[in-house]
C-alpha cells in the first residue's frame, strides 16, 4: 500500500477580515455571555454601587462635598477590581476544569482570542460600574465633576481593570474550578482594605500605611483620586507600577497556562 | 498495483506517559481521507490520549504526530478539523445560534449557518439558550459546532452518549453524509453497533498499542465462531466431542454451541435430534470479537 500525505498547503487560507471577525466575535460572545449571567453581573455591579450609596452618600449626608468625591475614587477602585479578578480569574479557573478551554484549544480559535475576549468583557463590566458610580456621585451626591474628569474616571476604570485581569488570570492558572472564588476573595477583600479603599489610609496603623505601595490597588486609587481632581502626587509613577504589575502577572500566568493547559 | 491512500493525520511510534503510567506505548495510527475510522478499546486503552495528541492538546514524549503534514498545534492544520469532545461545557447563557456563529467564525470558509443547523437537526433550536436544552439536544449542538467549519477531518468522541435511538439514527445519517462529501472521521465509541454500522476501518487499542486493525468483517473473522442455540435434549458432554464444536453448554431446555464449522455441525445436529426446535444461528458480532481480543491481550499480559 503506498501512502501519500495530504498537501501541506491549506486549500483555504484564512482571510484577514475573517480573522479579525473571529476576534470580534469572541469578544462579543464573552460580553453577551457574562452580561446575561446575573450570578456574575449582580455582585460585580451591586457591591460597589450599594457600598458607595450607603457609606459614601447616605451616611455622609452632612460631610463636606470632598468626602463624596474622595469616596467615589476609592469605591471606584473597589468596583474596578472585581470584574478583573472574578470575571477573569474565576472564569478561567472554572473553564480549565469544565473542558471549555480544552475545546477552545482544539478548535482553531485564533491565538489569544479567548484571553482578549475575557479582557474586553472585564473592561466593559468595569466601565459599566464606573458609569453607575458617576451617575450616583453626580445625580445623588451632587459631586461637581467636569466632563473631562468624568471621562478620565471612566478611562481609569476601563484600563485600570487590566492589571487585575492579569492577577486574576494568574490565580486562575494556580487554582482549578470551584476553589477559585474563595481564593480570589482572600485577595480581593484584604487588598481593598489594606490599600485604603474602605477607610482612608491615614486612619490605618502606620505599618499598614508603609506597606500599602505593594498593593496595585493603592496605585490605582491614586490615579482615581487624580482623575476626580484630588490627587497630590504625579500620575506617571503609579501608571508605571500598574503596568509593571500587569505585565508581570500576565507573563507568569501565560507561562503557567502554556505549561499546564 | 497496490491501492494508494491519502493520509490526513498520523501517529507513528507515539509514546505518552503520565507519571508512571504509560498511556501510549509506541502507537502507530493512520487516518485516511474519506474514511471513518472507529477507535475502540476498554477504558484506559489510550483512545483519549491518542486523540489529544492528534488535536495538539498534548505533546508526545516520543514519536511523530502529524495533522495534514503539520504539527497539530499549527493553527493552519487545525482550521481543517472539527471537534466534538466527550465532555463539553459550553457557555450556558449563549443561544445555539450565537454558539454556532462564534465557532463558524474560526474557519476560513464555514458552512452557512442554516446548513450546519439542518445537518445536525437543530434548526428549530437556534434561538434557544444552551442551558435550556436537554442533554441530547446539547449533544446535537456540539455536533453542529463540529461540522460547521466544513472540516476535512472530524473528531467525534463518544458522540451519541445521552441520545435516544431516533436522535442516534439521525446522527448516523448525518455522519454518512459527511463521509460521502469526502470528510474523514475518527470515531471513538462504547457502542459497538455504532462502529459496526458506520466504520470502514476499526482499530482496537489496548494498553496504548494497536491490538487489531482492519475492516469490521476482518475484525469479526478474528473470532471465527458461530453461535448455535436451540431446544434439544441431546447430551452436551457428547456434543462437545463432535468435530467442529468448540464449546457446548446447557441452559435449561436450550443448548448453546460454539462452532467453527456450523454447516457440518447443523447437518449432524438435525439428524441426531428430529425433535430439535427454535433453532438460532448467529455469527459472532463485533462485541464478541472485541471481548475476545481484549481478553487475549489480558492473557498475553499475564503470560508475559
Query: Which tens digit of pLDDT belongs to each residue from A12-46?
Result: 788 999 999 999 999 999 999 999 999 889 999 99
User: Class for domain B7-220, per CATH?
Assistant: alpha beta
- Name the closest residue on chain A to residue B4, using Cα atoms: A2
Alpha-carbon span B137 to A125, nearest angstrom = 31
- Please give the pLDDT value at position B44: 82
A16, part of any domain: no
In a domain, A208, yes or no: yes
User: For residue B1, what pLDDT is reported?
Assistant: 47
Summarize pLDDT for B126-167 with one digit per residue, the tens. Answer: 999 999 999 889 999 999 999 999 999 999 998 988 788 888
Asked whether residue B3 carries a pLDDT value surpassing 60, the answer given is: no
CA distance A72 to A224: 9
> Given an 8 Å threshold on Cβ–Cβ distance, is A8 in contact with B69?
yes
Query: Can you give the pLDDT at residue A6?
Result: 59
The CA angle A141-A144-A150, to the nearest 5 degrees, is 100
φ, ψ for residue B195 (rounded to 5)? -65, -40
Under 8 Å between Cβ of B38 and B187: yes
Number of domains comprising chain A: 1
The phi, psi pair for B221, rounded to 5°, reads -70, -15
Instruction: Say if the ipTM goes beyond 0.90.
Output: no
Give the per-residue pLDDT at A13. 85
Residue B304: pLDDT over 50? no
Mean pLDDT of chain B: 88
Average pLDDT over residues A193-210: 88
| pLDDT tens figures, B47-84 | 989 999 999 999 999 999 999 999 999 999 999 999 99
CB atoms within 10 A of CB A102: 21
pLDDT of residue B302: 53
Between CA A70 and CA A77 the distance in angstroms is 11
Neighbours of A261 (CB within 10 A): 13
Q: Report d(CA B130, CA B98) in Å as an integer.
A: 10
Task: Give Dmax (Cα) for chain B.
Answer: 70
Compute the CA torsion angle B40, B43, B45, B51 (nearest 10 deg): 70
Nearest of A6, A13, A104 to residue B70 by alpha carbon: A6
More confident residue, B190 or B264: B264
Q: Is A201 a member of any domain?
A: yes
- CB contact at 8 A, B68 and B30: no
Choosing among A6, A101, A102, which should be mutated to test the B contact, i.e. which has the most B CBs within 10 A? A6
pLDDT score, position A45: 92
Q: Does the beta carbon of A95 lie under 8 angstroms from any beta carbon of chain B?
A: yes
Contact B81 A108 (CB under 8 A): yes
Question: What DSSP designation does A228 have?
Answer: T
Model confidence pLDDT, tens digit, residues B5-29? 689 999 999 999 998 899 999 999 9
Q: Measure the CA–CA gap between B160 and B170, rounded to whole angstroms.
A: 10
Mean pLDDT of A155-159: 96
pLDDT of residue B187: 94
pLDDT at B215: 86
Could you say which of B4, B68, B105 has the minimum Cβ distance to residue A4?
B4
In whole angstroms, what is the distance from residue B121 CA to residue B129 CA? 16
**What pLDDT shows up at residue B296?**
67
- Fold match between domain B7-220 and domain B226-283: no
User: Is the Cβ–Cβ distance between B14 and B23 less than 8 Å?
Assistant: no
Q: How would you label B223-247 residue by residue, b for 16+ Cβ within 10 Å and e otherwise?
A: bebbbbbbebebebeebeebebbee
Distance, in angstroms, between A113 CA and closest chain B CA? 10
Query: pTM of this prediction?
Result: 0.84
Is A97 within a domain?
Answer: yes
> What is the extent of the structural domain holding A44?
26-260
Are B85 and A111 in contact (CB < 8 Å)?
A: no
Residue B202 φ then ψ, to 5°:
-125, 130
Q: What is the pLDDT of residue A8?
A: 47
pLDDT of residue B124: 96
- Give the per-residue pLDDT at A11: 63
- CATH fold, domain B226-283, is Alpha-Beta Plaits (3.30.70)
**Which of the four pLDDT bands, split at 50, 70 and 90, describes residue A62?**
confident
User: DSSP secondary-structure letter at B105?
Assistant: T
Considering chain B, what percentage of its residues have pLDDT values greater than 70? 92
| A128 — pLDDT class (breaks 50, 70, 90) | very high
User: What residues pair up with B129 in beta bridges, in sequence order?
Assistant: B95
pLDDT tens-digit readout, B27-56: 999 999 999 999 988 888 889 899 999 999
Query: With 90 as the cut, is the pLDDT of residue B99 above it?
Result: yes
A116: helix, coil or strand? helix
User: Does A2 fall in a domain?
Assistant: no
Contacts of A32 in chain B (CB under 8 A): 93-94, 98
Q: Can you list the alpha helix ranges (DSSP code H) found in chain B?
A: 47-55, 75-78, 96-104, 113-120, 135-147, 165-180, 192-198, 216-221, 236-239, 262-272, 286-303
Q: Rounded mean pLDDT of chain A?
A: 90
Of the two residues A9 and B192, the one the predictor is more confident about is: B192
Compare CB distances from A99 to B8, B85, B103 and report the shortest one's residue.
Answer: B85
**Closest chain B residue to A106 measured between Cα atoms?**
B55
CA B289 to chain A, closest CA, distance in angstroms equals 26
**Is there a domain that residue A11 lies in?**
no
Mean pLDDT for B214-218 is: 82
| Mutation site, B70, B93, B143, B146, interface A, largest A CB count within 10 A | B93
Cβ contacts of residue B250 below 8 Å, gap of 6+?
B236, B256
b/e A214-250 (16+ beta carbons within 10 angstroms → b): ebbbbbbbbbbbbbbbebeeebeebbebbeebbeebb
Q: What is the pLDDT of residue B194?
A: 86
pLDDT surpasses 90 at B193: no
Strand, coil or helix: A140: coil
> Which among A171, A159, A168, A150 is positioned nearest to A227, based on CA atoms?
A150
Per domain, the residue ranges of chain B are: 7-220, 226-283
Least confident of A98-107, A234-243, B276-285: B276-285
Amino acid at each position: 500500500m503506498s501512502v501519500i500525505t495530504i498537501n501541506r498547503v491549506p486549500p483555504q487560507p484564512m482571510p484577514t477580515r475573517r480573522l479579525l471577525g473571529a476576534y470580534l466575535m469572541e469578544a462579543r460572545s464573552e460580553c453577551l455571555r457574562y452580561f446575561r449571567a446575573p450570578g456574575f453581573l449582580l455582585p460585580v455591579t451591586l457591591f460597589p454601587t450599594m457600598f458607595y450609596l450607603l457609606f459614601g452618600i447616605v451616611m455622609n449626608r452632612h460631610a463636606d462635598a470632598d468626602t463624596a468625591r474622595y469616596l467615589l475614587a476609592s469605591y471606584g477602585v473597589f468596583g474596578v477590581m472585581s470584574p478583573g479578578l472574578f470575571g477573569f480569574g474565576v472564569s478561567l479557573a472554572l473553564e480549565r476544569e469544565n473542558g471549555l478551554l480544552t475545546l477552545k484549544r482544539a478548535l482553531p480559535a485564533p491565538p489569544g482570542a479567548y484571553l482578549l475576549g475575557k479582557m474586553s468583557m472585564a473592561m466593559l463590566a468595569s466601565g459599566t460600574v464606573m458609569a453607575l458610580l458617576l451617575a450616583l456621585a453626580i445625580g445623588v451626591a451632587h459631586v461637581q465633576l467636569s466632563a473631562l474628569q468624568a471621562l478620565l474616571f471612566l478611562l481609569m476604570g476601563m484600563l485600570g481593570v487590566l492589571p487585575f485581569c492579569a492577577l486574576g488570570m494568574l490565580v486562575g492558572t494556580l487554582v482549578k474550578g470551584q476553589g477559585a472564588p474563595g481564593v480570589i476573595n482572600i485577595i480581593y477583600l484584604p487588598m481593598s482594605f489594606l490599600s485604603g479603599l474602605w477607610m482612608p489610609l491615614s486612619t490605618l496603623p502606620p505599618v499598614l500605611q508603609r506597606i500599602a505601595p505593594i498593593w496595585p490597588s493603592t496605585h490605582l486609587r491614586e490615579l482615581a483620586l487624580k482623575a476626580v481632581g484630588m490627587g497630590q502626587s504625579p500620575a506617571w509613577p503609579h501608571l508605571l507600577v500598574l503596568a509593571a504589575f500587569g505585565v508581570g502577572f500576565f507573563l507568569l500566568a501565560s507561562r503557567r497556562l502554556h505549561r499546564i493547559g | 498495483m497496490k491501492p494508494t491512500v491519502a493520509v490526513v493525520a498520523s501517529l507513528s511510534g507515539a509514546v505518552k506517559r503520565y507519571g508512571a503510567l504509560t498511556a501510549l506505548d509506541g502507537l502507530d495510527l493512520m487516518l485516511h481521507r474519506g474514511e471513518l475510522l472507529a477507535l475502540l478499546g476498554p477504558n484506559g486503552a489510550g483512545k483519549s490520549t491518542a486523540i489529544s495528541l492528534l488535536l495538539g492538546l498534548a505533546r508526545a514524549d516520543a514519536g511523530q504526530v502529524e495533522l495534514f503534514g503539520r504539527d497539530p498545534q499549527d493553527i493552519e492544520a487545525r482550521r481543517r478539523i472539527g471537534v466534538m469532545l466527550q465532555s463539553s461545557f459550553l457557555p450556558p447563557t449563549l443561544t445555539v445560534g450565537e454558539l454556532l456563529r462564534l465557532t463558524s467564525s474560526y474557519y476560513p470558509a464555514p458552512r452557512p449557518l442554516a446548513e450546519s443547523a439542518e445537518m445536525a437537526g437543530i434548526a428549530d433550536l437556534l434561538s434557544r439558550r444552551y442551558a435550556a436544552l436537554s442533554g441530547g439536544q446539547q449533544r446535537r449542538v456540539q455536533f453542529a459546532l463540529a461540522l460547521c467549519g466544513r472540516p476535512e477531518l472530524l473528531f467525534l468522541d463518544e458522540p451519541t452518549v445521552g441520545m435516544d435511538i431516533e436522535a442516534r439514527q439521525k446522527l448516523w445519517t448525518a455522519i454518512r453524509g459527511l463521509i460521502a462529501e469526502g470528510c474523514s472521521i475518527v470515531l471513538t465509541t462504547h457502542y459497538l453497533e455504532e462502529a459496526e454500522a458506520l466504520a470502514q476501518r476499526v482499530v482496537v487499542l489496548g494498553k496504548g498499542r494497536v491490538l487489531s486493525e482492519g475492516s469490521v468483517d476482518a475484525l469479526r473473522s478474528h473470532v471465527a465462531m458461530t453461535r448455535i442455540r436451540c431446544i434439544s435434549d441431546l447430551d452436551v458432554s457428547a456434543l462437545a466431542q463432535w468435530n467442529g464444536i468448540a464449546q457446548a453448554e446447557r441452559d435449561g431446555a436450550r443448548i448453546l454451541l460454539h462452532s467453527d464449522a456450523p454447516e457440518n455441525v447443523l447437518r449432524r445436529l438435525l439428524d441426531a435430534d428430529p425433535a430439535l426446535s427454535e433453532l438460532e444461528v448467529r455469527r459472532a458480532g463485533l462485541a464478541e470479537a472485541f471481548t475476545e481480543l481484549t481478553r487475549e491481550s489480558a492473557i498475553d499480559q499475564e503470560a508475559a
